[in-house]
Chain A
Amino acid sequence: MPTVALFVPCYVDQFYPQVAEATLRLLERHGCTVVFPEAQTCCGQPMSNSGEAAAAAPLCRHFLDTFQGHEYVVAPSGSCVGMVRHQFPDLVPDHPALEQVRTSTFELCEFLHDVLGVRRVEGRFPRTVGLHRSCHAQRELRLASGSERMVAPFDKVKALLSSLEGITLVEPARSDECCGFGGTFAVAEEAVSCLMGRDRLDEHARAGAEVITGVDMSCLMHLEGLARREGRPVRILHAAEVLLGEAA
């Protein structure tokens, strides 16, 4: 039975505890023993992506100190896992636990699909759902083949979602266009960021999505913020919440 250390991104911990809870329950349902190392804070991505490597490095070190030695580290976030896997080597190259933690850290759907080999998720979700493919899950972690690359198509998150009973997945136009969140971009380039987000909401609405889901709550927080301001009826849920299914 695999043992998983749950890595809960800081903003999920504070603002979306239900997403962390769903992740925990989903992992347990798939036979994992889950622990939550309480010393964890933030992986340092907001600082690193803004060019503040010196500010990010102590957080990366703290992260590695906290998570070293666990069999697996799993997070409900593509971009935080991308940070650990691809940016930590530049930021804290000498940390003794770097390789061990990097290679055992997975995004939730990636872990279910690739490590546990899950192909069918038990549960029922009788809704019309649009999948927002977040960029770092898509292009850093390669959870899907991507619209740009001419390779054999695959999509791990969609594969898991589509196995739920009763779910109808719809494809928005521009299947993997960015939502415009982009961390500090959302604030520094507010005008373009919000236009990008509303365009995504429109594309999902045109496709008929009642629910928009994805593996990165940060993108979804931006889309949710826009949708709520305009009173749009769409529901925004993390993939972990959808995969947990609805009570029949």
Chain B
Amino acid sequence: MAHAPAASHPEAAARFAADVPRTHWHDESLWFMRVKRDRAAAQVPEWERLRELAQAIKAHALATLPALLEQFERNATAAGATVHWARDAAEHNRIVHGLLAERGATRLVKSKSMLTEECGLNPYLEARGIEVVDTDLGERIVQFRDEPPSHIVLPAIHLKKEEIGALFHEKLGTAAGASDPKYLTEAARGHLRQKFLAAQAGLTGVNFAVADTGAVVVCTNEGNADMGTSLPPLHLACMGLEKIVPHAEDLGVFLRLLARSATGQPVTTYSTHFLGPRPGSELHIVIVDNGRSALLGRDPYRRALSCIRCGACMNTCPVFRRSGGHSYGVTVPGPIGSVLAPTIDPAAHAALPFASTLCGSCADVCPVRIDLHHQLLAWRGELAAAGHTPAGKRLALRFTAWVFASPARYALAGRLARFALRVLPAGIMARLAGPWGRQRELPAAPAESFRDRYRRTHGRA
């Protein structure tokens, strides 16, 4: 992953949540997306049927992935594109740099691509003298700030318009103190126009690669993928190998689900199908593995490869909304990111499957029905078994299980706990209760448990 976590999730989340008004603002901004998604989904009578279809198509695609990838390569090549295969991030970066260097291109414009974030492409190219300009507005903002996106669809959702105004004042010379979104967007638009005009190559992500036609489909709201690929003589399209769909008509399922799930729009403003290069230009498609084929062989996590990167699980996640995307320390944060990240490095990302209450809202909004919270639970088991969870917690749980395994030990422990709660002063109990007691009272302890009372009133069973 491109950005190593600076702290584990609980610490980063606590820092974020310490600014309560700002956290509520972040929470409301993302909840607004969830509300828009609900409204849009409610207008499609066959919504749940579409989700089932999408799940089935993706399951089929993943089950037949090698054949579909080869079919895609044949059809894309026949249409005039060149297909490259990259085993990992390093190979991907080498291929992209090689294509640019061979053509003497030093000015690259990019539309949004989480894959290139995952591969750390920008710093790799910049170190080799290539100017890389992210042209999605949110991505350009975080690029100016030299930080990763905090959300895969809304990269700068963690920033307020006043902060963007100050940033643009510094970087683009907008009026000091200006924070009108329309004014700031116009300024970015003017700035990006110059970059589009001067670009020698355009790089895009890929939302869907259609096996039976060889086309790649790129969805944006800003048209920046189209701007970036319409002028330069070189179009690079970079995709993870899971982006394959078997048939063009499958897009009738996925395009209906994608934008509604992401932002509540009926469809993305631009859904561009690239079938071969424009006359007089080149189209190179780089297909990247980077751990995906290994994931394909791992139940239950293989279903996570169905993800179409709509971000709905982030918008609905009550933890994500109150901890911010950066607290996850990975390119793809939130529930889906917490399933994906440990597949790359379980020790480094061991806290992520625990950064969830297992509320299950993510699984119910997921347009491809990934059972996200069940996968997080499965990860917890693997991480604990591998010793990647705190030793004290493991020991405490095992001790509690030992106590609970015997009705007599359980009853005695309960009696002792209730006795302690009744006789010890509240201040001492709150300290003994640790993180529970900092902001919460412990329950009042009754003199008698239910079982004691039952025995007293009903006699021994």
Contacts and interface: CB of A to CB of B under 8 A. Distances in A.
Interface of A: 8, 10-18, 20-21, 35-42, 44, 46-56, 58-59, 62, 135-136, 138-140, 146-151, 174, 176-178, 180-197, 199, 221-222, 224-226, 228-229
Nearest to B403: A41
A21 B446 CA distance: 13
Interface of B: 9-10, 13-14, 17-18, 20, 23-24, 27, 31, 38, 41-42, 44, 47-48, 316, 318-319, 322-323, 354-361, 363-365, 377, 379-385, 389, 393-394, 397-398, 400-402, 404-407, 410, 414, 417-418, 434-436, 438-446, 448-451, 453-455, 458, 460-461
A41 B359 contact: no
A12 B449 CA distance: 9
Given A14-B414, A228-B441, A38 B354 contact: no
A50 B41 contact: no
B358 A182 contact: yes
Nearest to B45: A150
Contacts of B364: 139, 146, 148-149
Given A17-B453, A50-B380, A150-B42, A191 B14 contact: yes
B454 A36 contact: yes
A178 B439 contact: no
A129 to B, nearest CB: 21
Which secondary structure characterizes the binding site on chain B? helix
Name which of A53, A136, A151, A196 has the most chain B CB atoms within 10 A of its CB.
Answer: A196
Contacts of A225: 436, 440-443
B358 A226 contact: no
B48 A196 contact: no
A52 B402 CA distance: 12
A177 B318 CA distance: 7
B117 to A, nearest CB: 25
Nearest to B364: A148
Contacts of B439: 190, 194, 226, 229
A138 to B, nearest CB: 8
B440 A44 contact: no
Contact of B461 (A16, A36, A192): A36
Nearest to B319: A192
Given A36-B454, A176-B361, A196-B322, 20 more contacts: A10-B404, A11-B443, A38-B460, A41-B407, A46-B397, A47-B397, A49-B377, A50-B380, A62-B405, A148-B38, A148-B361, A150-B48, A180-B357, A182-B359, A189-B9, A189-B354, A191-B10, A194-B439, A194-B440, A224-B441
